[in-house]
C-alpha cells in the first residue's frame, strides 16, 4: 500500500531531518552554488551551515517549523499487544517514536512577524523563556567554531539584497504583518506526490484563520506553482548583486 502523508509541528529533534531535506531539495539551485562554489565536491561546509542556521531559526521568535511524514495508513508502527519491561523497553522507545512519526519527507519554515504574535506567545510560554538563552548559546558556538572554507561575502549575498528589498516591499501595515514562507523542502524521492501542496495549504489555512496575508520569494520556474495557491508576483528579488539569479519572484497572497 502506498504511504500516506501527515503533518506534525516540528520539534527540536526534527531540525536535523529538515536540514537534510533542504540539502537534498536544493541540490541544483544556482544561488547556493554561488554561495558554496565547492559544495558538490565537499558538501560538509554547506550542510554544517544549514543545520546551524536551522537550529538558530528554531530558537528565533516567529519561526514555525512543520514536518511532513510518510506513514502506512493501516500501521502506526506500534503493536499494542507487545509489552516489555526494563532495559528492553528503554531500547525500543526510540525506534517506536520513529515508527510512530514515520519517515520525514518534507518541511516548511514560516516566519510570523512580531505584529502577528500575541503577548502570550512572545512572553508567557516556556519556548519564549528559553529562546533568548538558546539563541545566545548557538550564536556563541558559531563564533567560537567558525566553519572553514566559507567565503563570508559570498554567503551573505542573499541577506544583503533581501534586507534592502524588505523595506521597499513591506510598505503597508498588512504587508508588514504578512507571514513569510521562508523555506519549503520536499524529498526528491516523493516530489510530485502532493507533499509540497499539503505543506503549503496547511500554512495558508493557518494564515487565513489568523486573517493575515502571506508572501514568499520563489525559485526559478515556480511562479505558476505558487500561483495555483493564489500568490501574485509583485516584484523581483534578482536585482543588484542578485541580477544574474534567474529566480526571485516576490509573490503575495491575500493582500
Quote the mean pLDDT of the chain.
87
CA distances 112 to 29, 61, 178, Å, are 26, 8, 7
DSSP calls for 28-90: T-HHHHHHSTTTTT--HHHHHHHHHHHHHHHTSTTEEEEEEEEE-TT--S--TT----HHHHH
pLDDT of residue 100: 59
pLDDT of residue 2: 65
Segment 118-135 mean pLDDT? 85
Segment 69-83 mean pLDDT? 51
Residue 253, helix vs strand vs coil: strand
Q: Domain locations in the chain?
A: 4-253
pLDDT of residue 157: 93
pLDDT of residue 96: 43
Residue 120 exposure: Cα atoms within 13 Å on the Cβ side = 0
Residue 111 contacts residue 182 (beta carbons within 8 Å): yes
Residue 91 has pLDDT above 50, yes or no: no
Q: Residues with Cβ < 8 Å from 133, sequence gap 6 or more?
A: none
d(CA 129, CA 49): 26
* C-alpha cell of residue 48: 554544517
pLDDT of residue 9: 97
For residue 104, report the phi and psi dihedrals to the nearest 5 degrees.
-65, 125
Q: What is the CA radius of gyration of the chain?
A: 20
Residue 25 contacts residue 186 (beta carbons within 8 Å): yes
Stated pTM of the model: 0.86
d(CA 154, CA 115): 32
Residue 201 contacts residue 229 (beta carbons within 8 Å): yes
Residue 81 has pLDDT above 90, yes or no: no
Residue 237 contacts residue 161 (beta carbons within 8 Å): yes
**Confidence band (pLDDT; 50, 70, 90) for 82?**
very low
**Confidence band (pLDDT; 50, 70, 90) for 120?**
confident
State what percent of residues in the chain have pLDDT above 90.
73
Higher-confidence residue of 90 and 53: namely 53
Residue 32 has pLDDT above 70, yes or no: yes
Domain 4-253, architecture per CATH: 3-Layer(aba) Sandwich (3.40)
d(CA 238, CA 106): 26
d(CA 215, CA 203): 11
**Confidence band (pLDDT; 50, 70, 90) for 1?**
low
Amino acid at each position: 500500500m502506498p504511504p500516506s502523508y501527515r503533518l506534525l509541528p516540528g520539534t527540536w529533534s526534527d531540525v536535523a531531518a529538515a536540514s537534510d531535506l533542504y540539502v537534498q531539495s536544493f541540490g541544483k539551485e544556482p544561488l547556493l552554488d554561488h554561495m558554496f562554489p565547492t559544495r558538490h565536491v565537499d558538501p560538509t561546509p554547506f550542510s554544517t551551515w544549514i543545520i546551524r542556521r536551522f537550529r538558530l531559526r528554531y530558537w528565533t521568535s516567529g519561526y514555525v517549523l512543520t514536518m511532513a511524514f510518510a506513514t502506512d495508513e493501516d500501521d502506526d508502527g506500534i503493536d499494542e499487544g507487545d509489552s516489555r519491561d526494563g532495559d528492553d523497553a528503554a531500547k525500543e522507545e526510540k525506534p517506536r517514536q520513529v515508527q510512530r512519526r514515520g519517515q520525514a519527507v518534507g518541511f516548511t519554515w514560516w516566519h510570523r512577524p512580531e505584529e502577528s504574535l500575541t503577548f502570550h506567545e512572545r512572553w508567557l510560554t516556556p519556548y519564549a523563556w528559553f529562546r533568548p538563552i538558546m539563541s545566545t548559546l548557538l550564536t556563541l558556538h558559531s563564533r567560537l567554531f567558525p566553519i572553514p572554507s566559507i567565503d563570508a561575502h559570498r554567503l551573505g549575498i542573499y541577506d544583503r539584497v533581501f534586507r534592502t528589498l524588505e523595506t521597499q516591499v513591506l510598505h503597508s501595515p498588512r504587508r508588514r504583518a504578512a507571514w513569510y514562507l521562508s523555506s519549503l523542502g520536499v524529498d526528491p524521492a516523493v516530489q510530485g506526490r502532493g507533499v509540497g501542496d499539503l505543506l503549503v495549504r496547511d500554512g495558508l489555512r493557518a494564515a487565513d484563520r489568523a486573517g493575515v496575508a502571506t508572501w514568499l520569494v520563489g525559485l526559478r520556474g515556480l511562479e505558476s506553482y505558487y500561483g495555483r495557491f493564489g500568490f501574485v508576483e509583485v516584484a523581483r528579488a534578482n536585482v543588484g548583486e542578485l541580477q544574474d539569479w534567474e529566480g526571485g519572484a516576490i509573490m503575495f497572497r491575500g493582500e
